[in-house]
Chains A and B, each alone.
Chain A
Amino acid sequence: MAKNTKANNTNGHMNRREILRQQQAAQARRKRTITVVCIALAVVVVIAAVALIVTHVNSVNHQKNTAGAATAQIKPPDLTSDGTAIIVNPAAKDAALTIDVHEDFQCPICKSFEDTFGSAMNQIIDNNQALVRYHVRSFLDINENNDWSNLAAQGAMCADTVGKFKPYHDTVFANQPAVEGTGYTNQELSTTFAQQAGITGDDLTKFQACYNNHQTSQVVSTMESLNMSAGVQGTPAFFVNGKSIDLQTLAGLKSNDAATLLAAFQKAAGLS
């Protein structure tokens, strides 16, 4: 060690004293190293433990908030056979064009799309110019650290049981809070939005029982995991006859009327 050179030049007496001094210094260093390593390890263990506990508690809460009690699950009537989407116009099953829309109720860009093209979509749907499937996604719950994508999706699935999927869907997007991550309330999802979507009387009672008992929780979580596994990781996402169409293309359209939107979809599908 370079440290020794200074002492080595002097006599043996100095050397022994120096060696002893260095041994003591080395021992002190070892002690300090052990102390520091122990403190560091303890800190690491605490951080990891806290992180894992927080993660676990969050996941338990998410489960509790979204799954509810072990109630009978309801399958929405318009669910596709593979469970990845809701068909909003089954009457259009022979249409040459199929439009797949992936949306998460907490996604702000999805709201922009709905605000701009929502009515055009409804015309295409009502005229059966395309078979339209809505893939109701709920992965934003992870980002927002809440349960509102999942719960809004449950509301939409319950609305389908009373034939009001699309009006409910439109109502939720129309009322999406301006600040991303604010989420919705149970009051809104179970009552306000349902009434605005035209669910009344016995249907409202049926809808609320479905929503309050989380009777579509499995459909929602399965729908999310199937679509995620299929590789659609972001929303909004659009597919026309299986081909992806860029939101940029839609945003660049000169008009937001149904004819323009339909033409863009047909072009992307290679139909025109």
Chain B
Amino acid sequence: MHPRSATAWQTWVTLVARVIIGASLLYAGLLKIGNLPKSVTAVRAYELPWPDWMIHAIGYSLPIIEIVLGAALIVGLFTRWMAVLGALAMIVYIIGIASAWARGLDIDCGCFTPGGALPPGQEPKYLEDILRDIGFLICGVWTVLFPDGRFSVDRWIAGPAPDDDPEPEPAS
């Protein structure tokens, strides 16, 4: 399937889907990038049975990965592959939140906030977090299926589309 085989309305939907998941990733990453140790604390609050160096590696790299994926999706660069990674990230987040919920941890997911352990008396909002991430996941999957969208760097790289070809159709 040539990417350009998408119909016009699909390319508009892709633009919207791509920008929604991209902006959410970019925003989440920017919130955390200024304070990486806080990001480590947020990861640690999930009480994963992994060694500390791994928690640190995740805490430090996640905001950077989110910013890169988010920015690439917004401008439409390597859209399909970035959407694959973005959708995978959402799946990982959903699993993480669901597991924290199942284990009865009282944490803030750390998605769009500093995260970490919640003070007592504040109820975690796991369901809302998961539903929101499922929404982003749907945007990501759409973008994987129909990566060609309006106003994308990918389109600029690909050059003028055959449909836009100024050469007239040769007469047969």
A residues sitting closer than 8 Å to B (CB atoms) are 1-3, 6, 9-10, 14, 25, 28-29, 32-33, 36, 40, 43-44, 47-48, 51-52, 54-55, 58-59, 107-109, 139, 142-143, 145, 233-237, 246-248, 251
Contacts and interface: CB of A to CB of B under 8 A. Distances in A.
27 contacts: A1-B2, A6-B162, A10-B172, A14-B170, A28-B159, A29-B157, A32-B157, A36-B153, A36-B157, A40-B68, A40-B72, A40-B77, A48-B64, A51-B33, A51-B36, A52-B36, A54-B34, A55-B37, A58-B35, A109-B119, A139-B41, A142-B37, A145-B34, A233-B117, A234-B106, A234-B119, A236-B119
Contacts of B159: 25, 28-29, 32
Contacts of A145: 34-35, 38
Interface string B34-68: 11111001001100000000000000100110011
Contacts, number: 88
B37 A59 contact: yes
A106 to B, nearest CB: 12
A236 B119 CA distance: 7
Chain B, interface size category, equals 35 or more
Contacts of A248: 120-121
Interface of A (DSSP majority class):
helix
A233 B44 contact: yes
Nearest to A109: B119
Nearest to A28: B159
B119 A235 contact: yes
A47 B33 contact: yes
A142 B36 CA distance: 9
B37 A29 contact: no
A1 B162 CA distance: 11
Contacts of B117: 233-234
B56 to A, nearest CB: 11
